[in-house]
């Protein structure tokens, strides 16, 4: 008797892109932009202990394969973190040309986010930085080839959750910068959002 269907086991191999496909060397700092998400104000008001999600938009040119690392650095003073890093994930807006950066992709699990305290912080259990090696991020440029290109097709969003500490410097109207950076090759592009 012949089976109605048969299943063969196959092995999926992930291939590292050829050096000629990776155009990190040809990208310039102005080719990659990083900013707080357009729908988000450039300043966020917080109170002690409050957790807030801060979204950042990363944009890079069509037909690019970029070996990318993303980093968050939070303010500290006198060895104490002013803001704590508590979570990071992909946000709901993803360009049509960018692969593997949509919200269902668990950023921490798939890419291995590292939560650390920098040398700026000397207190126990305070985390003031997150680093994520995104590996090779691909912008296929499909919408360019189809003649339907919009600049949002070349973007993906990452959001980070931060919590305001009870640091003495967090008095009313004090402002602090949240820095989010992407590194590709020898170039680092930094976006900044101010918290009050």
- Exposure pattern of 121-145 as b/e (b: 16+ CB <10 Å)? beeeebbbbbbbebbbbbbbbebbe
Listed as own residue / partner, the contacts of 99-103 with beta carbons closer than 8 Å and 24 or more positions apart are: 99/137, 99/138, 99/140, 100/137, 100/138, 101/137, 101/156, 101/157
Give the per-residue pLDDT at 130. 94
Residue of 173 and 10 predicted with greater confidence = 173
Report angle CA 96, 71, 89 to the nearest 5 degrees: 50
48-195: CATH number: 2.60.40.740
Domain ranges of the chain: 48-195
Interval 29-87: pLDDT, tens? 667 776 665 455 556 777 888 898 888 888 888 988 888 999 999 988 888 888 889 99
Mean pLDDT of 129-155: 92
Decide: 69 and 132 in contact? Cβ < 8 Å. Answer: yes
Decide: 23 and 65 in contact? Cβ < 8 Å. Answer: yes
3-state secondary structure of 116: strand
Interval 145-159: pLDDT, tens? 999 999 899 999 898
């Amino acid at each position: 008797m012949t089976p109605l269907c048969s299943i063969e086991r196959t092995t999926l191999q992930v291939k590292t892109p050829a050096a000629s496909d990776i155009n990190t060397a040809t990208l310039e700092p102005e080719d990659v932009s990083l900013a707080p998400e357009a729908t988000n104000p450039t300043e966020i008001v917080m109170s002690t202990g409050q957790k807030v999600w801060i979204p950042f938009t990363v944009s890079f040119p069509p037909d690019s394969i970029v070996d990318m690392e993303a980093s968050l650095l939070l303010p500290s003073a006198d060895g104490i973190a002013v803001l704590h890093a508590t979570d990071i994930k992909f946000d709901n807006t993803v360009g049509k040309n960018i692969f593997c950066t949509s919200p269902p992709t668990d950023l921490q699990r798939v890419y291995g986010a590292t939560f650390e305290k920098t040398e700026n912080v000397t207190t126990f259990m305070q985390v003031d930085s997150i680093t994520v090696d995104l590996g090779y991020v691909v912008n296929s440029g499909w919408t360019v080839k189809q003649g339907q290109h919009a600049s949002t097709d070349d973007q993906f969003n990452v959001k980070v959750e931060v919590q305001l500490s009870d640091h003495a410097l967090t008095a009313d109207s004090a402002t602090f910068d949240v820095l989010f950076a992407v590194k590709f090759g020898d170039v680092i592009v930094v976006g900044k959002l101010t918290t009050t």
